[in-house]
A and B are shown apart, each in its own frame.
Chain A
Amino acid sequence: MSVDTQTPLATSGARPWDELRRNPLFWIAASVLSVIVVTGVFAPLIAPHDPDFSRLDLVNAPAGADALLGGDSAGRDVLSRLIFATQTTLIGVIIAVSVSMLIGLVSGLLAGYRGGVIDETFNWVANLIIVLPSMMVLIAMFATVGPSTVLTMVVLGVILAPNFFRLVRNQTVAVRNELYVDAARVSGVSPVRIVFRHILRVIIAPVIIMAASIGSLSIMMQSGLAFLGLGDAKTPTWGAMLLDAFKNIYTAPQLMIWPGVMIALTAGSLLLLANALRDTVAGTRRVRRAPRQRSAPTGPTAGRSEGTPLLALREVSIAFSKPDGSDTVVVDSTDICVEAGEIVGLVGESGSGKTQTILSVLDLLADGGRVRSGTISLDGVVLSSLSPRRRREVLGRNVGYIPQEPMSNLDPSFTIGSQLVEPLTAVAGLTGREARERSLELLRRVGITDPQRVFDSYPHQISGGMAQRVLIAGAVACDPKLLIADEPTTALDVTVQAEILEVIRSLQQERGLGVLLVTHNLGVVADLCDRVVVMKDGAIRERGDVRQVLLRPEDEYTRSLLSSTLATRPAREAWTERLATGSIGIASIEKTQKAGAR
């Protein structure tokens, strides 16, 4: 038996209680549950009759003055029995949840904190318990020990304990590996103190959530057993009342209504409570969906006139909607142009909005993000005027995308080959054989010496540099006109970086591609780009010819970028080549830096 395991790691957000207070579901669930608990606790005071009180004329009687919800098959008052059964149920739930929580907490903390043999042993036992069909175990137990509510619920608690164990153990391992816990341990804080101060504080929320789910599950199990007739016949339970309804299903089907409603209400409010808590902890309640913007195209919609740039962003603003409904503008009124055959560098520190800018071109902004105003046109075609499906096709055919992190950008479940072949057949319309040949040729073109082996490999079997070559091959596979590269070398070893840049450069020259290259590395800009755009805080600070910007920066920010990057980087091969051809002079750059530093 297992319950929902999707519990977030730790509490986030400063005031979870405020968040919870605003959630109506929390209030509904909490109120229903409170009423049920009060009913259970004060059952003898509330119930109109004794649970065993019975009158012949009340047998299967409909609702009336003497029995507000009617009588059961033995002439007993349904309402009174429901109320007393609430007490039995709550006691059972409390026993089962406490037992499983106690076992799970202690064993989970031990296993997670100590690791090693203890961890392995406990894990193994947890797996053993989880594969047992719990209902069958409880039934088998009845054969041995007979009807005992307490013992049954204790055993149920043991059966459900692995849920807590796994949760607590995994969270403990995660917290234990956090730096601040390491720091506490190194500075000699005792393990007990670490557990109470650091670990328990983090796991308390997920444990409460789990307790609510487990509580709902134990109500089901407890009622189920009683329904099978394997409960204590002396105490009224909802399950036993349903058994009575079942036996009289032809004569008094109304008997099944109220016990079922009570079970569903109790279990449901526990589950809702768990959900509300989970939403609060995750802090992801009401993630606003970005309204699909179908902005009226303001630029030229069709037909490519002479002199239209390959890619043109005009006054593009990008915003992300926050949970409270307001917008955060990450890119504000930006103009960028890329002509065919030129390489434009987009430079800025992280958070400057450069990546969001290119993702907006690719129509790949994350959830909640959207282009709020402005137009993006490719070859004179305003992209927002196309249907989403058509836009995807146009982008796939005409724009090649090289991501930053090579390893996370290849689907781990498919071979390299199939990931290269799929767009070629689906988008470019090649046959399987053609696509395969083209892929192998592309792999060779990007400098892979053993294309067949790489073609047959899974992503985890190749190196990062190799993966980036594969991604470049994928980007140019459908013969795009524009290449968009998002920090294509940042994640790579320094030795591989130059090679990757060389591949991009030679492909660009060979095919006359327009390239928009995002980077924070001015060395790369000097190395590759014709023009450069400098961004900060979502706005453009400076733009122009690469020599002009690097040698005579006008903006203060560009100057600070120049002094921070170039000083620490040695000139690479490609760089000295340009130096030799006289396209740029390193001495002059150094001069500029000194000037900027002064």
Chain B
Amino acid sequence: MSGMPTFIARRIGSGLILLVALTAVAYALVYSGSTNVAQKILGDFATADQIQAKAAELGVDRPLGVQYADWLLHAVQGDLGRSWFTAEPVLEAVFSRLAVTASLVMLALAATVVLSLLLGITAARHRGGAADRGLQLFAVAGEAVPNFWLALVLVSTFAISIPLFPATGFVPPTVSVGGWLLSLVLPVTAIVVGSVAGSAQQIRGAVIDVLQQDYIRTLRARGLSERSIVLRHALRNAAPPALTVLSLQFIGMMSGAVLIERVFALPGMGNLAVDATIQGDIPVVMGVLISMAVIVVIVNLLVDIAAGWVNPKVSLA
């Protein structure tokens, strides 16, 4: 069957088109206000000629469309331009921060998957029971509490009052795996509470939907254990909606990570973007925005492929 490769190729194709469109939107958004950047960099005492020269040097004196075409041409070759302030290549700056954000988001995602599956399945199996009502309560509470506030509470409690974990900073796993984990416990917790609250409830719904299907009744009639019914059959069939929920959670985490990195002073992509924004360092802002979009598109692609893999019908579509 040649279904799967075609399916993947088509998804990659649409992902690429999506990315190009994304860069155009992002570029228009970010660069449209950058006309007086030369003035900003040179300061108030610069002459009109100097400003003119700087603007030409940065390329911001050209029409926006031309600027974008130029940016895109370089971007596909892996050149995202240089920082207007430090002249550091944007791609290098982003890469040097990638490990931090990736550590944070990947650990948070793993924890979210495990916990929301556990909670969602338990609640679905005992509808109306104590676990189910507990989950409903947690779902509202967890979503109502902002993750950065939770982070502040965690820091002041478990880093300052009771110094169990470091309040700030990141330890690369290459230096010390233990230190790496320790430095991420609080940040990951702050993210996971909200994302589990957001996804467990929906996984519960998906599992309930499957458990009400006729084939589950028939499988039960065949004498299969509840364990096999839930873990093999219900989970497999609930996987596509669960994957969709989790991929949306992932996008949310990329946003949430910005705030969490701020609280814990983690040198990640979010912090880089906020600093660059406050400074007005547009190429860096654009670089981070696009890198995050690329990551999200890749993750979505992987989720699509995974969903196609668990659903035998997709290969025919």
Contact = CB atoms under 8 A, between A and B. Distances in A.
Interface of A: 1-2, 4-6, 127-128, 130-137, 139-145, 216, 220, 223-224, 227-230, 242, 245-246, 249-250, 253, 256, 259-260, 263-265, 267-268, 271-272, 275, 286-289, 359, 362, 364, 366-367, 389, 392-393, 395-397, 399, 401, 403, 405, 408-414, 419, 422-423, 426-427, 458, 460, 471, 474, 477-478
Contact of B146 (A223, A228, A413): A223
Nearest to A388: B226
A364 B221 contact: yes
A579 B281 CA distance: 93
Residue in B18, B149, B282, B292 whose Cβ sees the most chain A Cβ within 10 Å: B149
B133 to A, nearest CB: 11
Interface of B: 18, 21-22, 25-26, 29-34, 127-129, 136, 140-141, 143-146, 148-149, 152-153, 155-156, 160, 198, 201-202, 205, 212-226, 228, 232-233, 236-237, 248, 251-252, 254-256, 258-259, 262-263, 270, 273-274, 276-278, 280-282, 285-286, 288-289, 292-293, 296-297, 300, 310-313
Contacts of B146: 220, 223-224, 260, 263-264, 267
A133 B141 contact: no
Given A268-B144, A403-B214, A413-B311, A246 B251 contact: no
A171 to B, nearest CB: 17
Given A1-B251, A136-B273, A260-B145, A289 B225 contact: no
7 nearest CB pairs, A to B: A396-B223, A268-B144, A144-B33, A135-B255, A401-B221, A260-B149, A423-B222
B310 A227 contact: no
B255 A131 contact: no
A136 B148 contact: no
Contacts of A458: 312-313
Contacts, number: 247
24 contacts: A2-B252, A6-B205, A130-B248, A131-B22, A135-B259, A136-B254, A136-B270, A137-B26, A140-B285, A228-B258, A230-B277, A245-B152, A246-B152, A253-B160, A260-B153, A264-B149, A268-B141, A289-B127, A289-B129, A397-B223, A409-B217, A410-B218, A411-B237, A419-B219
Nearest to B239: A413
Contacts of A395: 221, 223
Contacts of A223: 146, 148
A5 B152 CA distance: 30
Given A127-B18, A132-B26, 4 more contacts: A4-B201, A139-B273, A140-B285, A409-B217
A295 to B, nearest CB: 21
A463 B64 CA distance: 58
A40 B10 CA distance: 51
A460 B312 contact: yes
A132 B293 contact: yes
Contacts of B281: 143
A275 B312 contact: no
Contacts of B256: 135
Nearest to A289: B128
